[in-house]
Structure 1
Amino acid sequence: MTRFSAGVATILSLAVLLAGCAGSQGGNSTGSTTGNPNTTTTVQSRTGAQSSEYKPIEPIVTGAARTRAKSHTELGMAYLEAGNVAIALEEGRTALRDDSSYGPAYNLMGLAHMYLGEKQQARDNFERALRLASSDPDINNNYGWFLCQNGDTARAMQLFNEAIRNPLYASPTRPYTNAGLCALQGNDLQTAEVNFLLAINADPGNTQAIYNLAALLYRKGSYLEARKQLSNFHAQRDSVAESLWLAVRIERKLGDKVSEAGFASQLRRRFAGTPEHQQLMQGNYD
């Protein structure tokens, strides 16, 4: 990820990833996407490797077993959002003991292993989740983010597009945001900007997308638009060191010395010792 977006880009990472994991189950069809990763063109035919952690003989699943698996998965997601990864993993394992064919439970396991830095286990579980629920938008979004963080940008963008294409997905702002962040990693500013705008259009309160759009516009030299987006960010949430430092630099470019001094004062007072404060003290504005 580029330097200008590295700070606030991760502030809401859990919110971007963890949403409705135990929601509607996708179908059993498989598919893989092909074509330009920066478009929404997809072709059905995805395959995936089985999880190395779970390879049971598929049981006959009763309605009660599926209900228990769903409940344990939802509880595990709540623990994961609270930062309790160990209990989240145990809830995922319990869910899979109840129903080893429940895709969202593998999604939970994939996320938990991802946060622990256990890449192969995360990949295996995401692949199994995708095999079982190939149209589930949360699985596509979450696995896409994992792939983006591990160098497979092309497939990541395809999975984000797959999530976005689902007309029943209530949170398309998440894959749009992740697609923007992923495009930034490849220095594709145009694709990043389009996706951040779409994320904000889908959810005007998505402050992660708003901040990153402001930072991108600053980088492009669109200082008035960057100021507008950053003002929107500050109107919706408390400022952070990264956002104040960006504000200082925007106002400096626009020649507004009073506003520049005001943001610089806040940065010195509230976030002394941060890398952004150190940059300010050293005069490293670019």
Structure 2
Amino acid sequence: MARFVPVIASVVLFTACGSSPTAGSQSELRTSSDQTDNQRRARIRLQLAVGYYEQRQLPVALDEIKRALQADPDFAEAYDMRALIYMDMGETKLAEDNFQQALRLSPNTPDFNNNYGWFLCQNGREKQSITYFEAALKNHTYRSPAKALNNAGICSLKMKDRVAAERYFSQAFQNDPSNPSTNANLAKLYYDLHDYQRARFYIGRVIKAEVLTADVLWLAVKIEHKLGDSVAENSLATQLRRRHGSSPEYAAYQRGAFDD
């Protein structure tokens, strides 16, 4: 059966930098003027690295990270970003070293914990990953808890813990009901549990959000097939053919492989 690709964790770009406040300044909010020139240069390099990373120019992004760390060797966000780049390049050991360095420098940053948790989950260490997702969620300043909750749900499914997965996905839905990944994962979970009415509810939200990938449409077709709604099934199958006629999902539909 098709699997859904989760939304990967975001990179922290604009958090406060790391020098300690001077005497008498504890009652003030930190601003950009508190940064040294080196820290400002490092942050500019990081932003360039993120841009190259998003364009999939990974070697160039790595070079910008190197320059950021030359300017500020204790720049935790640069280590986290470098870890994500190495992760995408398949450099597992280098990725882990950089995730751990980011966490040594800033152990309570929720994005770092979420990103490292996802790394662990992707490398067969699902049980360990949950510890880091939970650490991210304990930080009440975390602006996007649905990401960690969604990732924790996916990793729970990898451990065949459907009860935990349902709990995490449901909490993610409460935090961000419009998130297509969360809705798709809930639809897939309930389909596997043979709760087809619930599965229809969540996959319908994905389709209304115009997320019409092959795996989404194929799951929607299978749900309607199980519910016996041939009109809805045929309509969705037509969309699957028009949008993804050469996909494995449409080939499965043509074979009638509804239970594969």
The equivalent residue for 2:118 is: 145
Give the Cα–Cα distance (whole angstroms) in 1 for the partners of residues 139 and 153 of structure 2.
Answer: 18
Q: Distance in 1 between matches of 2:18 and 2:162?
A: 32
| Aligned residue among 10, 14, 26 for 1:18 | 10
CA distance in 2: counterparts of 1:134 and 1:83, whole angstroms: 28
Structure 2 runs not aligned, ≥5 long? 21-34
Q: Within 5 A, what are the aligned runs for 1:60-209?
A: 63-209=36-182
Q: In the TM superposition, what is the alpha-carbon distance from 1:82 to its structure 2 partner?
A: 2.6
What's the offset of the Cα at 1:199?
1.5
Q: Which residue of 1 aligns with 2:187?
A: 214
- In the alignment, which residue of structure 1 is the partner of 2:32? none
* Mapped contact 2:80–2:102 kept (Cα < 8 A): yes
**Residue 9 of structure 1: SS of its match in structure 2?**
coil
Superimposed CA distance per residue, residues 3-47 of structure 1 (whole angstroms, 9 cap, x where no aligned partner):
44x2x324xx4xx3223245246899xxxxxxxxxxxxxxxxxxx
Unpaired runs of 5+ in structure 1?
29-61
- 1:241 is matched with which residue: 194, 206, 214? 214
Q: Tell me if structure 2 keeps the 8 A contact 1:249–1:260.
A: yes
> Is 1:251–1:260's contact at 8 Å kept on the other side of the alignment?
yes
Structure 2 length-normalised TM: 0.89
CA contact (8 A) 1:21 1:139 kept: no
Q: Percent identity?
A: 37
Q: CA deviation at 1:81?
A: 2.2
Q: Distance in 1 between matches of 2:133 and 2:139?
A: 10
Distance 1:161 1:25 in 2: 24
Give the partner amino acid of 2:258.
Answer: Y
CA deviation after TM superposition for structure 1 residue 194, in Å:
1.4
- Mark the CA change 1:223 to 1:190 in structure 2 (over 3 Å): closer, same or farther: same
Q: 2 CA distance for matches of 1:157 and 1:78?
A: 29
Which has the bigger relative contact order, CA under 8 A and spacing at least 6? 1
Q: Which whole-Å CA distance do the structure 2 matches of 1:27 and 1:282 have between them?
A: 62
Paired residues of 2:49 and 2:64 also in contact (CA < 8 A): yes
TM, length-normalised to structure 1: 0.81
State how far apart, in whole Å, the 1-side matches of 2:153 and 2:57 are: 28
Answer yes or no: is 1:269 the counterpart of 2:245: no
Equivalent-residue separation in structure 2 for 1:279 and 1:158 (angstroms): 38
* Aligned 8 A contact 2:86 2:94 in 1: yes
**1:190-215 residue CA offsets vs partner (Å, 9 max, x unmatched):** 11121112122212221111111111
The change in CA–CA distance for 1:25 and 1:175 in structure 2 (over 3 A counts) is: farther
